[in-house]
């Protein structure tokens, strides 16, 4: 998969809620694989979400991805959709 | 002179603009053709620089408006090219191109750029951010993230591919609220087109084509609780033609989940929902205890609030047992999640939690002296190039 810069620093978006896991600073986030994003933080940065409490991330180079689940009805493993 | 800070009076006004635009964004007031005509005529003449449309057609909901747009587009194309295949993708591309070319380019160039340039020149970034945080984000949370997002999902469920119009009238409330505050309280606006654009917020979705302009009415009902779309008896958004959106605590859910009594819901039907948030709302409705009692045949491990249970799945798999993890939402303690575990052989909560990690992260060895990582809901964040990671996240919310 081609490394692609995202328009917004959003790590995951909710389908049924419109909620999103988003970095509050102006950070470049790249989609590098189907379930891997990359970003670098120069300073402490908040990861926010409308439902979950904020996580303060330290400076550093990071990757992110979404949890996996198995759906026996569809007989498939997939990223958790929320 | 550039504005670097807000005065006390200007700060106090932020809430007033937020409430004003929330009210506009969540308005259920219908409009008439006589009210719409001068607004649309100005929009075509002064912003789009086009002749006024001969026809304005008002439909009752985004779904019926979208169907009308597609039908109109098909008829136009048949006249232009009788032999062309009218497949959905072609219609979609053509509609999108027309709308994008006619609206986005012109509105962006003529209104947004002028407006934004004035603001950038005169308002310091910090002030801009303050207005954004206190007006835009809060209006956006309710109007766009809640109402608009759920309406789009529902139209797509019923009408297939859907092109959201680039002029969305009162649904642009967060954008309008932002500039309304700045131009009313901070700097003078010399852009008449902005006033005309702002007038569009008296209407709702707008599909402006050359000869005809399609408008959707606003919803006849929007029910929110604590800023979240919610109604546990009927649709949370309803349009006058019956097009509706059902939602519980801000999560768009199927109609049956709202309208069936909790005691009559089959827990397996909840388990079958593909969306984790919808499942969580279903479990909240019937109660975690009842859900777990009815579905879980055997609990095989416990750790803190986690329970790993085996659930027999009847459909097509002959009642084979599958591991499911029951988890309490750390940020919303009354909300429970139940998710199937990818490693079907796991026997402990620890193995189950490890199995849920994204593939790339799961391949990194786990060690007591590993690096810290973080988890917010179903999103994992870990240091790139880590040689090893700790077993549990440093922060879990």
Q: What is the pLDDT of residue B238?
A: 92
Q: What is the pLDDT of residue B382?
A: 98
Model pLDDT for residues B127-143, shown as the tens digit of each residue: 767 777 777 887 888 88
Min CA distance, B87 vs chain A (Å)? Answer: 26
Q: What is the enclosing helix (H) or strand (E) of B206?
A: strand B206-208
Is it the case that residue B74 has pLDDT exceeding 90? no
Same-domain status, B206 and B82: yes
Residues in chain A where the model's pLDDT stays below 70:
none
B312 found inside a domain: yes
Note the Cα B231 to chain centre separation in Å.
17
B2 found inside a domain: no
Interface touch A62/B380, C-beta < 8 Å? no
B293 found inside a domain: yes
Least confident of B32-41, B79-88, B385-394: B79-88
Residue B293: partners with Cβ closer than 8 Å, 6 or more residues away: none
Q: What is the pLDDT of residue B347?
A: 95
B206 found inside a domain: yes
d(CA A5, CA B319): 45
Same-domain status, B210 and B228: no
Q: What is the pLDDT of residue B88?
A: 46
Residue entry with tokens 């097509």: B316
B394 versus B161: which is more confidently predicted?
A: B394
Min CA distance, B246 vs chain A (Å)? Answer: 11
Model pLDDT for residues B39-50, shown as the tens digit of each residue: 999 999 988 888
B290 CB burial (10 A radius; 0-12, 13-18, 19+):
middle
Q: What is the percentage of chain B residues whose pLDDT exceeds 90?
A: 52
Same-domain status, B184 and B330: no
Confidence of residue B103 (pLDDT cuts 50, 70, 90): low
Q: What is the percentage of chain B residues whose pLDDT exceeds 70?
A: 85
Taking CB atoms and an 8 Å cutoff, what residues of chain A touch B332?
51
d(CA B99, CA B112): 17
Domain that holds residue B248: 224-259
Closest CA to B357 of A47, A52, A65, A29: A65
Residue entry with tokens 């005065």: B7
Min CA distance, B40 vs chain A (Å)? Answer: 30
B3 found inside a domain: no
Confidence of residue B160 (pLDDT cuts 50, 70, 90): confident
The ipTM, to two decimals, is: 0.97
Q: Which of B153, B382, B395 sits opposite A63 (nearest CB)?
A: B382
d(CA B83, CA B93): 17
Is it the case that residue B87 has pLDDT exceeding 60? no
Q: What is the pLDDT of residue B342?
A: 94
How many domains does one find in chain A? 1
Same-domain status, B121 and B229: no
DSSP at B275: B
d(CA B74, CA B90): 10
Phi-psi label, residue B218: left if phi above 0, alpha if psi -120 to 50, beta otherwise: beta
Domain that holds residue A57: 4-79
Pull the structure tokens for residue B261.
Answer: 């009594």
Taking CB atoms and an 8 Å cutoff, what residues of chain B touch A64?
379-382
Note the Cα A58 to chain centre separation in Å.
16
Pull the structure tokens for residue A66.
Answer: 């979404």
Model pLDDT for residues A63-72, shown as the tens digit of each residue: 999 999 999 8
How many domains does one find in chain B? 3
Is it the case that residue B123 has pLDDT exceeding 70? no
Residue B333: partners with Cβ closer than 8 Å, 6 or more residues away: none
d(CA B55, CA B102): 17
Interface touch B361/A63, C-beta < 8 Å? yes
Same-domain status, B179 and B308: no
Backbone angles phi, psi at B156, to 5 degrees: -65, -35
d(CA B148, CA B395): 32
In this prediction the pTM is 0.82
Angle at A41 between CA A36 and CA A45, to 5 degrees: 100
Taking CB atoms and an 8 Å cutoff, what residues of chain A touch B276?
69, 80-82
B7 versus B37: which is more confidently predicted?
A: B37
Same-domain status, B99 and B216: yes
Is it the case that residue B352 has pLDDT exceeding 60? yes
Confidence of residue B81 (pLDDT cuts 50, 70, 90): very low
Could you tell me whether strands B389-389 and B366-371 are parallel, antiparallel, or unpaired per DSSP bridges?
parallel
Confidence of residue B79 (pLDDT cuts 50, 70, 90): very low
Note the Cα B388 to chain centre separation in Å.
37
The pLDDT mean for chain B works out to: 85
Model pLDDT for residues B236-293, shown as the tens digit of each residue: 999 999 999 999 998 999 999 999 999 999 999 999 999 999 999 999 999 999 999 9
Model pLDDT for residues B304-336, shown as the tens digit of each residue: 999 999 998 875 555 789 999 999 998 888 899
């Amino acid at each position: 998969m081609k490394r692609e810069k995202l328009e917004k620093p959003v790590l995951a978006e909710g389908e049924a809620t419109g909620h999103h896991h988003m970095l509050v600073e102006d950070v470049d986030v790249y989609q590098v694989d189907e379930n891997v994003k990359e970003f670098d933080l120069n300073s402490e940065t908040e990861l926010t979400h409308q439902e979950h409490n904020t996580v303060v991330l330290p400076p550093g180079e990071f990757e992110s991805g979404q949890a996996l689940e198995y759906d026996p009805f569809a007989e498939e493993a997939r990223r958790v959709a929320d | 002179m550039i504005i670097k800070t807000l005065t006390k009076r200007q700060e106090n006004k932020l809430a007033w603009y937020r409430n004003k635009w929330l009210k506009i964004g969540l308005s259920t007031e219908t409009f008439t053709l006589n009210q719409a005509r001068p607004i649309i005529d100005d929009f075509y003449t002064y912003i789009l620089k086009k002749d006024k449309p001969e026809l304005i057609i008002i439909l009752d909901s985004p779904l019926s408006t979208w169907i009308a747009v597609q039908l109109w587009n098909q008829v136009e194309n048949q006249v232009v090219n009788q032999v062309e295949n009218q497949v959905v993708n072609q219609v979609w591309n053509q509609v999108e191109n027309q709308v994008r070319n006619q609206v986005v380019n012109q509105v962006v160039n003529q209104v947004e750029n002028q407006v934004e340039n004035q603001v950038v020149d005169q308002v310091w970034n910090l002030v801009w951010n303050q207005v954004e945080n206190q007006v835009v984000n809060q209006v956006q949370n309710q109007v766009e993230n809640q109402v608009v997002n759920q309406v789009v999902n529902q139209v797509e469920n019923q009408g297939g591919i859907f092109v959201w119009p680039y002029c969305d009238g009162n649904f642009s409330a967060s954008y309008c609220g932002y500039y309304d505050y700045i131009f009313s309280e901070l700097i003078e606006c010399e852009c008449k087109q902005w006033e005309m654009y702002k007038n569009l917020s008296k209407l709702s979705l707008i599909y402006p084509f050359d000869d005809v302009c399609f408008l959707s009415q606003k919803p006849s009902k929007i029910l929110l609780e604590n800023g979240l779309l919610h109604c546990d008896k009927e649709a949370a958004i309803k349009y006058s033609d019956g097009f509706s959106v059902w939602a519980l605590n801000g999560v768009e859910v199927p109609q049956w989940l709202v309208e069936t009594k909790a005691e009559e819901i089959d827990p397996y039907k909840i388990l079958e929902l593909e969306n984790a948030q919808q499942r969580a709302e279903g479990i909240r409705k019937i109660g975690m205890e009842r859900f777990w009692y009815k579905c879980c045949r055997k609990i095989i491990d416990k750790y803190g609030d986690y329970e790993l249970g085996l659930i027999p799945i009847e459909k097509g798999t002959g009642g084979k047992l599958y591991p499911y993890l029951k988890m309490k939402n750390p940020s919303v303690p009354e909300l429970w999640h139940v998710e199937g575990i990818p490693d079907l052989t796991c026997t402990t909560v620890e193995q189950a939690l490890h199995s849920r990690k994204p593939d790339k992260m799961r391949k990194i060895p786990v060690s007591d002296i590993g690096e810290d990582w973080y988890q917010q809901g179903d999103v994992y964040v870990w240091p790139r190039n880590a040689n090893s990671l700790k077993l549990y996240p440093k922060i879990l919310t």
